[in-house]
Structure 1
Amino acid sequence: MPHDPFNDPAGRYRVLVNDLGEHSLWPSFAAVPAGWSTELDDADRATCLAHLNRQQTTPTDPTDPSRRVEQRNV
């Protein structure tokens, strides 16, 4: 069976996030894909999974007008 770097318990990982607030577990050795940024860098798999579990929320669209903060003239 080939080695799967996404499921290596001894591997080093990072947690990525995109503009929609979606998170991903990513091997530390791999380049961060376009449109994603690093939220947690170079940690063991268990630490990254715990971080992901804390970040889980109901998916929402950040461009949804109902989520915008109303600006007020002061």
Structure 2
Amino acid sequence: MADELIDGPVYRVVLNDEDQHSIWWADRDLPAGWRDEGSRGSREQCLAHIDQVWTDMRPLSLRRRMEQRASA
């Protein structure tokens, strides 16, 4: 996803501490608790990327608890 090929606002994919994904405007500071995932593009491109990579919607803390229970 290249910024120069985008007609309109450029977004970036962001993650929080629970590995939940969202999009944020590329030209604005990130909100507290979110970090840049590295992908940028149009809104549609970023949402399509999230659809591809965020396959487990469970928060990270829940996944860890479930893994601990499964291994106990």
Give TM-score, length-normalised by structure 2. Answer: 0.65
The answer to whether the 8 Å contact 2:20/2:59 transfers is no
Query: What's the Cα RMSD here?
Result: 2.3
Q: Percent identity?
A: 31
- Equivalent position of 1:30 in the other structure: 28
- Equivalent position of 2:14 in the other structure: 16
The answer to whether the 8 Å contact 1:28/1:41 transfers is no
Q: Which has the larger radius of gyration?
A: 1
Runs of 5+ unmatched residues, structure 2: 1-6
Runs of 5+ unmatched residues, structure 1: 1-8
Structure number having the greater helix percentage: 2
- Equivalent position of 2:55 in the other structure: 57
Give TM-score, length-normalised by structure 1. Answer: 0.63
